[in-house]
Amino acid sequence: MRFPKCAGLIVALAIPALSADHPSMTIRILDQAHVPSGRIQKMERYVETTLAAVEIEVKWIECSSNIEACKAVRGRNEFWLRILAQNPPDLNTGTELLGLTQRGEAAGEIPCVNIFYPMVERTAKKLHAEEVLGAALAHEIGHMYLGNNREAHSLNGIMSGVWVEREFEEMDLGTLQFTREQGERIRAAMAASNRRD
Ligand SMILES: [Zn+2]
């Protein structure tokens, strides 16, 4: 059974006010899948709401309309979002991979969240879930700061490793969130990144 959709209203009402000293991350959007602008806005609102709940601000740079800003040297806690028009590599896991994050830790690796848009579309259609793009991005941002699957995944919430019916329903209700502990770890990792030489 599926709950009636009411995500827009609940999400809009649930954006908490941020205090003045909250940490902030900047995401450079490279949209290679030509996602409709309404979807991009929905994605941005979902991610903003999810991060605001753990007192983190997110700023966006759309590279298609702001080429100069995307040419500038990347700041601390600034990384790329690549929305890909291709399917993910076949990992033979029996699950559908929506995104993959390069944390920029290996030499020469650029910090980048990759989203496989055809998979997002397929999942959204199959499950009548409208917030998959934003939720998948929020999950991958979690990996950017919390680490690999073993370090980052939890049984509940946005960092669940495998999303089933419950996660998609929580997504629509606007309650698929980071835990308080995950929020603390992300803020600590952001602070460490700000201190790095
Ligand atoms: Zn994951």
**Distance in Å, CA 169 to ligand 1 centroid:** 18
Give me the pLDDT at residue 108, please: 83
- Interatomic CA distance for residues 97 and 89, integer angstroms: 9
Total length of the chain: 197
Taking the CB of residue 102, how many other CB atoms lie within 10 A of it? 17
- Residue 105 C-alpha to ligand 1 middle, in angstroms? 17
Ligand 1 centre from 158 Cα, in Å? 9
Q: What's the gap in Å between 34 CA and the centre of ligand 1?
A: 24
Residue 159 makes CB contacts below 8 A (sequence gap 6+) with: 139, 142, 146, 152, 153, 178, 179, 182
Q: What fold, for 25-85+92-191?
A: Collagenase (Catalytic Domain) (3.40.390)
User: Running along the chain, 197 residues long, what does each successive block of 10 average in pLDDT?
Assistant: 45 57 94 96 96 97 93 94 90 74 88 95 90 96 95 95 91 93 97 86
Sign of CA dihedral 17, 19, 23, 29: positive
Amino acid (one-letter) located at 158: I
Which pLDDT value is given to residue 15? Answer: 58
Q: Cα(94) to centroid of ligand 1, in Å?
A: 15
**Whole-number pLDDT of residue 33:** 97
Angstrom distance (rounded) from CA 94 to CA 91: 8
Alpha carbon of 147 to ligand 1 centroid (Å): 9
Strand partners, 114: 82, 100
User: Cβ neighbours of residue 63 under 8 Å, at least 6 residues apart?
Assistant: 28, 29, 30, 31, 69, 70
- What are residue 31's phi and psi, to 5 degrees? -100, 95
Residue 92: what pLDDT?
Answer: 58
How far is the CA of 110 from the CAs of 29, 45, 105, in angstroms?
A: 14, 25, 8
Q: What pLDDT, on the 0 to 100 scale, is given for residue 88?
A: 84
Q: Which residues pair with 24 in a beta bridge?
A: 57
> Which H helix or E strand runs over 26?
strand 24-31
**pLDDT at position 3, please?**
44
CA of 91 to the centre of ligand 1 (A): 14
Ligand 1 midpoint to CA 66 (Å): 30
Other Cβ atoms within 10 Å of 105 Cβ, number? 8
* Torsion angles phi and psi, residue 10, rounded to 5: -65, -45
